[in-house]
Amino acid sequence: MDHTLKRCLSLFLLASTPFMSHAQLVDRFKSHTSYLASDELKGRGTGSEGIKRAAEYVEMKFKSIGLDPGVDGSYYQPFHIAGYSESEANIIGVIRAAVPTDRSLVFTAHYDALGATISNGEGDTIHNGAQDNAVGVAALIEMARLFMHGEPPLQNLVFVATAGEEVGQYGSLFYVENPVFPLTEITICLNFDGFNVTGPREDYFVMPRQGVDFIDEIRSIARSTGWVYDPPEWIDGMDTNFDTASFLAKGVPALTLWTGTRMIGGKKAGPIPFGSIHTPDDEINPYWNWEGVEAHLKLYKRIADFFLEHPEGITVTDPERFVRR
């Protein structure tokens, strides 16, 4: 089906259904995260059956939202990782620009986790990867849905669920070498790796904050809706920890945005007993508070909307800072 006709049909179907409420959005976040972080998928480890099922889930959601396949009629962008017998794949969906252009804005979230460890039969061995990064994939899916409810964008929107992040950021590295639209025409990459399940917050920070020149723009966008920029000092040690590093090292602006610990009104929240990432304790637990996901998602969207309208003038000033050693 022609992508213009397909988008018109998707918009008609969406227009005939009331836009999702806060409760519906929260329910969708819960549903995506609960499935991807379930024991059924055995931790979505690289080379596993669980990662294949996670890929199928993301593909199904991209199709149902109405995204165009990103790679030669397919949502799959396969690649090989040395030491693994089977290929992995990025899952890519696209919303094409209103007027044909090579310019694109990319959204990423890795859908792999660390799988299951061998055990003597005692204890939980599945690294469910709920915070890292089932909930980030939920944000990716729901961001695509938000944009499908709107007018055709000024630039192409590319939604990339990356594989192989936990074993070396292989999916994002492959994408920057094989982008859907030219690498030099990517305005910015907005990455979801973790997401706010601590409840409503008013502060945020951006990674990276050094080696790039777009932090002032982000602060201005966020300030207009009441967000407070409050970066902790430790974030500079995270410069190569995300898929964004693959883009930044190539000179493509990219960021990951986290919320902080200030509740609405300014009071600092106490510690929340989440399970540590990269362990079997990274599961959804009763302390997860989903009430902040909508505001977090909409902050990302405001940033995307700004750069869709103002694609020029932001740069990576120190690409070498983001090269993994």
Q: What digits encode the pLDDT tens for the residues 158-210?
A: 999 999 999 999 999 999 999 999 999 999 999 999 999 999 999 999 999 99
Predicted confidence band of residue 325 (pLDDT cuts 50, 70, 90): confident
CA–CA separation, 4 and 194 (whole Å): 33
Average pLDDT over residues 76-99: 97
List 89's β-bridge partners, or say none. Answer: 78
pLDDT digit string, tens, across residues 263-282 = 999 999 999 999 999 999 99
List 242's β-bridge partners, or say none. Answer: none
Predicted confidence band of residue 17 (pLDDT cuts 50, 70, 90): very low
* pLDDT the model gives residue 301: 98
* pLDDT the model gives residue 124: 81
- Total number of domains constituting the chain: 1
Burial profile 13-45: b = 16 or more Cβ within 10 angstroms, e = fewer: ebeeeeebeeeebbebbbebbebbbbeebbbbb
Residue 18 has pLDDT above 60, yes or no: no
* pLDDT the model gives residue 144: 98
pLDDT digit string, tens, across residues 21-33 = 999 999 999 999 9
Can you give the residue range of the structural domain that contains 185? 3-322
CA–CA separation, 265 and 251 (whole Å): 38
Burial class (CB in 10 A: 0-12, 13-18, 19+), 224: exposed
CA–CA separation, 45 and 274 (whole Å): 21
Average pLDDT, rounded, for the chain: 94
List 263's β-bridge partners, or say none. Answer: none
Question: What is the token pair recorded at 79?
Answer: 């690649």
Distance of CA 209 to the CA centre of its chain: 18
* pLDDT the model gives residue 117: 85
Predicted confidence band of residue 120 (pLDDT cuts 50, 70, 90): low
* pLDDT the model gives residue 9: 46
Average pLDDT over residues 140-157: 97
Q: What is the CATH number of the domain that holds 131?
A: 3.40.630.10
Average pLDDT over residues 55-83: 98
Neighbours of 56 (CB within 10 A): 13
Predicted confidence band of residue 122 (pLDDT cuts 50, 70, 90): low
